[in-house]
Structure 1
Amino acid sequence: MSQPLSDRFAIASAQKLLETFSCLEVKPVESAAEAAQLQQALILLSTQADFVNFGICADTPEQGLAALASYAKALGYTVAIAPHDLAAAIAPVYIKFNGQRQTYYLDSYTGTYRGVLVSYHSLVEESVNGTYGYLPLDLFQ
């Protein structure tokens, strides 16, 4: 079944905004209004996707897991953060969150990128499939 034109327009607008944040460096969010628009775009696409995955690159486990918890909650997922991961003596870290399983994996990371990659997956609405980021770690905090 095809989406109404207004829904397709909203999705296309959300994708266009998110594409401006899809680069190698984290693009700063310039205002509270821009942050709100970015949050709304991410939430809209998550309602159209079957599931969402995150890739988080952060300086510390605490920073990365805080980003994971806030993005997961905002996009409708529940994630249980393991206390031993918060206390992990590794830095920087990479965290991969799988929205289908609602689980994550934390490991050391040697790269220089910092931020959140959000990847949307849908079998029905293929137009929402895509990866965006790096997005600010604290966007939903």
Structure 2
Amino acid sequence: MNISVDFTATNVEEGIGYWLRRAQQTVLHDFSETFVPYDLRPAEFSLLMLLANHPGIKQSDAAEILGIQRANFVALVDALQQRGLAERRKPESDRRVQSLFLTRQGTDFVVETSGKWRQHESRMIARLGGIEERDQLVELLTRLAC
């Protein structure tokens, strides 16, 4: 069987996936450099911020919002729990559900690290050219993701 593929039709540098990956690498590199002193990964920070804004959120809902598979999410919560930053609680109304909360230490940690996150975001917004460009990018990425 002879398959002919025309590789001249599209250059990889013109592909959406190529530039999304390059942008992701840039953002993750800056995030990692910013949060080295805190030993914090982006998924951990995202979960901590989610818990700060939605205390008592069901574990399954948090995983869905963050787009993290259940098995990976359990390990993520375990890691934050071991660090004393988050805790699981079973509500009296439904003992089958796991609700997630920041601990006092977790709340202090979010307060301390949120300033670093704002600095990181400001650098990324500046690279884009400003707030309007950030908003445009978020709108386009939302369309692509949904």
TM range (shorter): under 0.3
Between structures 1 and 2, the one with greater helix share: 2
Select the structure with the greater relative contact order (CA < 8 A; seq sep ≥ 6): 1
Larger radius of gyration between Structure 1 and Structure 2: 2
**TM-score where L is the length of structure 2:** 0.27
* TM-score for the superposition, normalised by structure 1: 0.27
Instruction: Give the strand-richer structure, 1 or 2.
Output: 1
